[in-house]
Amino acid sequence: MRRFFKTYLPFSRAGMQMMLAYRSDFFFHLIGEMLVCIVMYFVWLAVFESSDTQTFMGFSMTDMTVYLFISFVTSYLTYSEGATALGEEIRDGSIVMRMIKPVKFDMTFLFQELGGRVIEVVIALVPMCAAVEIYKYCVTGSVMFDPLYFLLFIISTAIAYLVSFYFNVCYGFTAFFLKNLWGANVLKDAVISFLSGAKIPLAFMPPMLQSVLMLLPFASLSYTPVMIYMGMYDALEILWSVLLQLFWLFALWALSKLIWRLAVKRLCVQGG
């Protein structure tokens, strides 16, 4: 175990340093994503003002605001793209550099990305949660912050990140076939934002569609942690949805290993 961390922690340090070196990229990216979130806030505000009732399919404007911003920050933190380069590396052959070293390919990506994530948690998650709690206090006049739910939210977010990571490893291999990385990424991000409930809460979908989407791995990416944060789930629902998250984590991990073995077997790198 100690050996494991001794091997991979330097990757995290590298990830952290990379993040600090490109900090302006990170800030501008965060601001850009916030803008999209603010647009959605105003659209929902207009929806609630145009609606005759105080709630929209069971959500009040306060709920909706909390949902928007917490869902934004969870999607942001669980977004993983470190392994997208895998397909590209297979194609140009630079993958051999990973194969001749005595480290696991997925762990190197994982630890490198986690290094940057630590900084993001401090800069994005903490202030956002604080802001949301202050907002809730201002609107409702009482503190409803439950440390237990918050802890469960953090655990669920961590699992969500790992699901996202292994999904991305699997997806990285498809980049080998779909060479248009930019277009393929637009496609992937759009589909995920829809299926994971980041664009529209899954609760607003027709019941049939909703029950299907809840079972897919995408709900594990951001919907589950957000629902836990908002206290929308009871104990049994939390248990069930976290188990589902763990199931998808395992399934995607196994799938990524399988694809990796197949790819390595068929890999043919031409001379440099």
Partner 1 sequence: MIKSIRRILRMHRIFIAQDLKKLMEYKVDFLTGMFGFIIYQTINLIFLWVIFSNIPALKGWTYEQIIFIYGFSLLPKGIDHLFFDHLWNVGYWYIAKGEFDKYLTRPINPLFTVIVERFQVDALGEMVVGIALIASTIGKVSLQWSVLNVILFILILPFATLIYTGIKIITTSVAFWTKRSGQITHVCYLVNDFAKYPTTIYNDVIRNVITYIIPFAFTAFYPASYFITGENPLFNLGGTVIAAVVLMAVGVLLWNKGVSVYESAGS
Q: List interacting residues with partner 1 (CB under 8 A).
A: 24-25, 27-29, 31-32, 35-36, 38-39, 42-43, 45-47, 49-51, 56-57, 177-180, 182-187, 189-191, 193-194, 199-200, 204-205
Nearer to partner 1, 50 or 142 (CB): 50
10 Å CB burial of residue 164 (0-12, 13-18, 19+) is: buried
Residues in the chain: 272
Nearer to partner 1, 183 or 231 (CB): 183
At 93 the three-state DSSP class reads: coil
Nearer to partner 1, 203 or 263 (CB): 203
d(CA 75, CA 30): 12
At 138 the three-state DSSP class reads: helix
* Minimum distance, C-beta of residue 198 to partner 1, in the bound complex (Å): 10
* Minimum distance, C-beta of residue 182 to partner 1, in the bound complex (Å): 7
CB-based contact 253:166 (threshold 8 Å): yes
Nearer to partner 1, 130 or 191 (CB): 191
At 56 the three-state DSSP class reads: strand
Nearer to partner 1, 34 or 251 (CB): 34
Report residue 15 as tokens.
């990830």
Task: Report residue 98 CA to chain centroid gap.
Answer: 25
* Minimum distance, C-beta of residue 82 to partner 1, in the bound complex (Å): 19
- In sequence order, the 6+-apart residues with CB closer than 8 A to the CB of 110 are 8, 82, 165
First to last CA, the chain: 36
Nearer to partner 1, 49 or 234 (CB): 49
* Minimum distance, C-beta of residue 212 to partner 1, in the bound complex (Å): 15
**Residue from 222, 220, 216 nearest 198 by CA:** 222
* Minimum distance, C-beta of residue 59 to partner 1, in the bound complex (Å): 11
d(CA 134, CA 147): 15
Nearer to partner 1, 187 or 258 (CB): 187
* Minimum distance, C-beta of residue 203 to partner 1, in the bound complex (Å): 11
* Minimum distance, C-beta of residue 22 to partner 1, in the bound complex (Å): 9
